[in-house]
Amino acid sequence: MDEQLTEILGEPVSDPDEETFLLFSQTIPSQSLGFIDSEASVLDISVAGRELTIHQSRGLLHSNRKEGTTGAVVWKVTPLFAEWVASHNFVFQAGYLTADSLALELGAGVAGIVALTLAPKIKRYIATDQDYVLRLLRQNIIENTVTPSTDRRKTQSKQKRSHAPHQQPSSNIETLELDWESHLKYTLRSILGQGQGAPGADHDANCIDLLLACDCIYNEALIEPLNEACVQICQLRRGDSNKKPTLCLIAQQLRSYEVFESWLTSFHRSFHVWRVPDSLLTEPLRENTGFVVHVGLLR
C-alpha cells in the first residue's frame, strides 16, 4: 500500500458494504439518469475556464443498439470531474501526474471533455471507447482543440470547424478503440505502441501514469470487464521501482445501491481503495451532491 496516499487521503476503504451504506445514507439529489440535456444535439459547456462546444448523438442514444448507447451524450458528473482533475489537486501535488505524464481514459464517450481539459497539463492523453462513439469523439476533440493556427473564438469556431472526424486532432490527445469485453490485451499492445505502426511507439510499455473512468458504472454486467481492464492496465507498471504505480481515478454518480456495491466489492478485491475526501474536492463533487470520486491502487 502507498503510505503517501494514506497520508493524503486518510485510511483506505476496508469494508465495501460499509462504504456503500455511508455513501447512500447521504442526501442524494434527484438527478434522473444524469444527462445534462439528452435532447440537445449541441451543448455549449464552460469547463475550467474554457468554452467547449460538444456534439451529442440523439439518434444513437435512442437507438436499439444492443452493445449500449450511453456514450452518446454528456453526463452531469463529467464536466465537474474534468474541472477538478485538471486543477492543482493532490494527484499533481503528490507527483502522480506531471507535465511528462500519460493518462488513459476508459469509456470516454462522444464528448472528450476530460481529455480536452486535462491534456494541456500533461504530455499525452489517450481517450478510449468502443468504435461506435469514436467518430463523434474525434470530431469534438478536433473542433475544441486550440492550436497556434486556429482562433477558437466562438464566432469564428462555428465557421471554421474541421469536418474530417477520421483525422486525429493535432494535439497530444489520441482516440483509440478499446472494448473492455473483447481483445483487451491486443488493444493494449496497440495503444502502448507495441504493435506494428501503432501510434506512440516511442513509449515504454509501462508508461501509463493515470487511469481514469468517469461515470462508467451503471450496469452490473459491465462491472467485471471494467475492473479487469483496470487491473491489466495497472499491472503494466508493476515491478518498476523507478516510477510511481499507476493511479486509478473513478468518478461516478450515485444511482443504484446494488450496482455500486457490486462494483466496489469487485474493485476492492484487486485494489486498495480510497474515497477522495471533501477537503480535496471542488464543491460540486462533495458529499450530498450525488457524486463521488474514488482512488484505486493495485494490490
pLDDT at position 93 is 93
Residue 181 is classified by DSSP as T
Which residue type sits at 241? S
**Superfamily designation of domain 3-298:** Vaccinia Virus protein VP39 (3.40.50.150)
In sequence order, the 6+-apart residues with CB closer than 8 A to the CB of 38 are 56, 58, 61, 73
Q: Are 189 and 203 in contact (CB under 8 A)?
A: no
Residue among 95, 92, 163, 101 at smallest CA distance from 126:
101
Whole-number Å distance between alpha carbons of 38 and 61 = 8
Distances (CA, A) of 260 to 74, 207, 232: 20, 30, 21
Query: What integer pLDDT is reported at residue 154 of this predicted model?
Result: 47
Return the residue matching grid coordinates 476503504: 13
Bridge partners for 272 per DSSP: 297
Instruction: Give alpha helix (H) positions in the chain.
Output: 3-9, 16-24, 58-61, 77-85, 90-93, 113-118, 131-144, 154-160, 184-191, 223-235, 257-270
pLDDT means over runs of 10, the chain (299 residues)? 89 98 92 79 93 85 52 89 96 94 94 96 94 92 73 46 40 88 66 46 67 92 93 85 90 96 98 98 96 97
**How many CB atoms neighbour CB 219 within 10 A?**
13
Residue 242 pLDDT: 80
The pLDDT, as a whole number, for residue 202 is 45
What SS3 state is found at 124? strand
What is the pLDDT, as a whole number, of residue 186? 63
Phi-psi region of 227 (alpha: psi -120 to 50; beta: other; left: phi over 0): alpha
**pTM (2 decimals)?**
0.85
- The C-alpha cell at 101 is 505524464
